[in-house]
Structure 1
Amino acid sequence: MAKFLKNNALTLVLMALFAASLIGHWLTGWRVALEDLQRHGEAPITALAYLADPAFISTVFENWESEFLQMSVYVVLTAYLVQRGSSESKDPDEPERDVLPSDDPQAPRLARQTGALGWIYGHSLGIALAVLFVASFVLHWIFSARQAAKEAAEHGQAALTALAYLGDPQMWFESFQNWQSEFLSTAVLVVLSIYLREKNSPESKAVAATNSATGA
């Protein structure tokens, strides 16, 4: 068990932080919903019932959407674009790292494949993150549309269809407010990693590395 914890500590800690944040999101969102219901003289809902509330679900996937967009774009852009001096960039002066198909007998089987299978495996990380982004975006859209329909019904207004809601400014306001922060934070990380260090982190250059050194 000790070896398992040591070998998987980074994932375990990140998932624990994720779970704690999600629970905090749920409980604080429920308290906000209770206050809103009280102001409108409506019956309160339980914490478990709030888990199925479209307002809560849409905000969950609204945030996941932006994170997966950031990571998918970042993974793909760093394959083609460089930032001299950044630990987050490949070194443009180094030879191409990946040549596919690989002739290394110890390489994963798919890395030794030619044709479509080899191409898909060679881009599988970017593809997987893009799929997670699309899935999160769709779920955000669907539940945000349901929340908008719920609010429209409360005010005696006609609700937009889910398809029509895709063109509603509210939908894109929710998305863009998260997207801009993700791209800004990534750009800041790229630039700061040129000049600043974090000892022993693979996301940082060695502490003694020159500012012009590129790559971790």
Structure 2
Amino acid sequence: MHAVGQAVRPRAGAARFVHDNGLTLFFGGLLLLALVGQSVAGLLEFNSQQVAAGLEEVGYLHYLTTSDFAVDVAENWQSEFLQFFLYILATVWLVQRGSSESKDVDEAGPESDQDQQVGAHASEDSPRWARAGGLRLALYSRSLGVVMGTIFALSWLAQSVAGRAAYNAQQLSQYQDPVSWPGYVGSPDFWSRTLQNWQSEFLAVAAMAALSIYLRQRGSSESKPVGSPHPTTGEEG
């Protein structure tokens, strides 16, 4: 406990940066660890298939450049960004009474300029484009959805290209004809990979929206306050 009248020393330098960006740094670190773990496990699995097919094993750096690794990463990334892209758009118009993941049930829609603090209702601390008008304000007002949607589209494209390369490598190893990119995008292999990821993302979002009505996590911005009534909507703990 600090003595009466003794000022609490503020965090400085690196400690302050880590404290203020802890959420991003934490999940960024987990991402790197998961990618490394996936690459190591994937290499072992890939080499076991190489040996079974009578082919030479490959090194770690070589495996990172293979279509097998690329498609596994891309198909997960595209499903994650699709989840957030759709959730961002859906929560503009759709609500869930009692959920901390929803706006208040009477606030569906893009809301007024005053509610959004844009244009004439912006403050001096508001982002510059929020104080602007016309095209700049229109773009900035939708920038999160646009970026999420763009990353989804690019990762989906990367998955389709890498997936085709991996699929054709398997086809050739079995002395079968390779397929074109349109042919692969319309194939069961592509959609099996894609939809098995999509359904898990949609399940997670639906579960979070529904469970946050009745369950709590003290101190989390994703939960209502512990004592908040179940019908309370859009309140954070």
Match of 2:7 in 1: none
Matched, 1:101 2:101: no
Q: Quick one: distance in 2 between partners of 1:41 and 1:157?
A: 18
Matched, 1:156 2:183: no
Q: 1:51 is matched with which residue: 61, 64, 73?
A: 64
For residue 15 of structure 1, report the CA deviation from its aligned partner: 0.5
Match of 1:135 in 2: 154
The residue type paired with residue 71 of structure 2 is S
1:45-194 matches, within 5 Å, as 45-93=58-106, 96=111, 97-98=115-116, 100-104=118-122, 105-194=124-213
Greater CA drift, 156-165 or 73-82:
156-165
Matched, 1:3 2:22: no
For residue 93 of structure 1, report the CA deviation from its aligned partner: 3.2
The residue type paired with residue 20 of structure 1 is L
Q: Quick one: distance in 1 between partners of 2:217 and 2:136?
A: 38
Q: Quick one: distance in 1 between partners of 2:167 and 2:52?
A: 19
Identity %: 36
- The one-character-per-residue Cα deviations of 1:159-216 (angstroms, maximum 9, x if unpaired) are 1111221111111110000000000110000000000011111111111110000012
Q: Quick one: distance in 2 between partners of 1:4 and 1:112?
A: 28
For residue 102 of structure 1, report the CA deviation from its aligned partner: 4.6
Q: Quick one: distance in 2 between partners of 1:9 and 1:26?
A: 26
What runs of 5+ residues in structure 2 fail to find an aligned partner? 1-13
Match of 1:31 in 2: 44
Match of 2:221 in 1: 202
Structure exhibiting the larger radius of gyration computed from Cα positions: 2
SS at match of 2:121: coil
Q: Quick one: distance in 2 between partners of 1:81 and 1:159?
A: 44
The residue type paired with residue 82 of structure 1 is V
Q: TM-score, normalised by structure 1?
A: 0.96
For residue 94 of structure 1, report the CA deviation from its aligned partner: 5.2
Decide whether the 8 Å contact of 1:197 with 1:205 is kept in 2. yes
Q: Quick one: distance in 2 between partners of 1:92 and 1:57?
A: 42
Deviating beyond 6 angstroms after TM superposition, the runs of 4 or more aligned structure 1 residues are none
The residue type paired with residue 61 of structure 2 is L
- The one-character-per-residue Cα deviations of 1:81-112 (angstroms, maximum 9, x if unpaired) are 00000000000235943254353232111112
The residue type paired with residue 147 of structure 1 is A
Decide whether the 8 Å contact of 1:102 with 1:111 is kept in 2. no
Q: Quick one: distance in 2 between partners of 1:113 and 1:157?
A: 58
User: How large is the RMSD of aligned CA atoms in angstroms?
Assistant: 1.3
Aligned pairs, number: 216
Match of 2:4 in 1: none
Q: TM-score, normalised by structure 2?
A: 0.88
Q: 2:33 is matched with which residue: 20, 23, 48?
A: 20
Match of 1:212 in 2: 231
The residue type paired with residue 50 of structure 1 is Y
For residue 116 of structure 1, report the CA deviation from its aligned partner: 1.9
